[in-house]
């Protein structure tokens, strides 16, 4: 049993240890706004390394951001830094569906509807979406980091989707124009570009399918659907064929994926069974319908 003298000695010793561990002129940050502080740390990590959501954050980076985010006159114990660093590494090493995925997608869609440029929202609007959700949701430190990165991921995937569709349309326009000019070299170049872009689009959709199937990510259907309509607003043959290609690919990937693992494009069967753009590439649809194809890209919402 500790007597009064021993208790006094322990008390003095504890105060000495505390004085040694706290830098001169500073006090322990025991009453800071923790949510605001962690948000600041996460934002700092991204400023220091824009790829922090796709690579492992170093302890040094986390420590530097801790110290730069704390209020003047306060300090954060090293064990707090080690704990957040461990939490971040755990999130990075164990990817799983973010519980706020649907809310993030809805927030992105709302931002798109209130903006004149969906591409501007997808490329630069995600920090505002993160801040809005982080203020309304109850989040642990690691979930704050996860929300930050997933807000960025959702927006990046939407932007990638828009860019792929936009590129494919551009190549199809070039192809149709080259066909009308009977320029064989230009036709071949445009066909190759369109083919490469369709392969990229197909692989993107396959990966997206399995990310959702394995529980690592949520559905992007509503976002991709809205982005598609904004990226391809004109109702012409080229846009209709691209949109039909996307619909057919989605059905084919889901159907084939239900019976076996898709390891390559060849698992989807012959492109003629799902690729609605082939009629245009072969130069047959314009002749059969009598509808002249568009030879220039229409003005889009930027």
**Residues 215-271: tens digit of each pLDDT:** 889 999 999 999 999 999 999 999 999 999 999 999 999 999 999 999 889 999 999
User: Residue 21, exposed/middle/buried by CB under 10 A (0-12, 13-18, 19+)?
Assistant: exposed
Average pLDDT across the chain, whole number? 82
Are 265 and 203 a contacting pair, CB within 8 Å? yes
Percent of the chain past pLDDT 70, that is, above it, reads 81
- pLDDT at 191 > cutoff 70: yes
**More confident call, 171 vs 59:** 171
- pLDDT at 291 > cutoff 60: no
- pLDDT at 8 > cutoff 50: no
What pLDDT score does 89 carry?
86
What pLDDT score does 242 carry?
97
Can you name the residues that pair with 221 across neighbouring β-strands?
none
What pLDDT score does 38 carry?
84
What pLDDT score does 283 carry?
61
What pLDDT score does 9 carry?
36
Are 88 and 44 a contacting pair, CB within 8 Å? no
- pLDDT at 18 > cutoff 60: no
- pLDDT at 208 > cutoff 70: yes
134-169: pLDDT as tens digits: 989 988 888 899 999 999 999 999 999 999 999 999
Give pairs for 198-202: CB < 8 Å, separation 24+.
Answer: 198/168, 198/245, 198/275, 198/277, 199/265, 200/164, 201/164, 201/165, 201/168, 201/246, 201/249, 202/249, 202/265, 202/268
Tell me what the mean pLDDT of segment 179-189 comes to. Answer: 85
CA distance 55 to 49: 9
Plot region of 245 (φ>0 → left; ψ -120 to 50 → alpha; else → beta): alpha
109: closest CA among 207, 218, 202, 230? 230
- pLDDT at 15 > cutoff 70: no
Q: 302 pLDDT band (50/70/90 cuts)?
A: very low
Among the ranges 70-84, 87-101, 213-227, which has the highest mean pLDDT value?
A: 213-227
29-77: pLDDT as tens digits: 443 467 788 888 889 989 988 888 888 888 888 888 888 887 766 667 7
């Amino acid at each position: 049993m500790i007597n009064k003298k021993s208790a006094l000695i322990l008390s003095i010793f504890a105060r000495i240890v505390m004085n040694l561990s706290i830098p001169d002129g500073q006090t322990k940050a025991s009453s800071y706004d923790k949510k605001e502080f962690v948000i600041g740390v996460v934002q700092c990590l991204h400023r220091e390394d824009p790829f922090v959501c796709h690579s492992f954050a170093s302890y040094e980076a986390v420590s530097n951001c801790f110290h730069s985010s704390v209020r003047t006159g306060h300090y954060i114990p090293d064990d707090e830094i080690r704990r957040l660093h461990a939490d971040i590494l755990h999130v990075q090493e164990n990817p799983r569906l973010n519980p706020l995925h649907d809310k993030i997608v809805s927030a992105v869609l709302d931002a798109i509807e209130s903006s004149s440029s969906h591409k501007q929202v997808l490329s630069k609007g995600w920090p505002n979406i993160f801040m809005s959700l982080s203020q309304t949701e109850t989040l642990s430190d690691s979930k704050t980091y996860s929300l930050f990165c997933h807000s960025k991921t959702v927006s990046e995937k939407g932007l990638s989707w828009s860019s792929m569709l936009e590129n494919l349309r551009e190549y199809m326009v070039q192809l149709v124009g080259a066909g009308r000019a009977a320029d064989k070299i230009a036709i071949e170049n445009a066909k190759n570009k369109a083919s490469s872009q369709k392969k990229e689009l197909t692989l993107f959709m396959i990966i997206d399918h399995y990310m959702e199937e394995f529980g690592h990510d949520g559905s992007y259907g509503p976002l991709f659907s809205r982005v598609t309509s904004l990226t391809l607003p004109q109702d012409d043959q080229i846009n209709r064929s691209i949109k039909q290609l996307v619909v057919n690919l989605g059905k084919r990937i889901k159907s084939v994926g239900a019976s076996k693992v898709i390891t390559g494009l060849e698992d989807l069967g012959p492109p003629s069974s799902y690729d609605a753009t082939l009629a245009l590439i072969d130069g047959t649809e314009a002749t059969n319908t009598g509808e002249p194809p568009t030879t220039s890209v229409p003005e889009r919402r930027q």
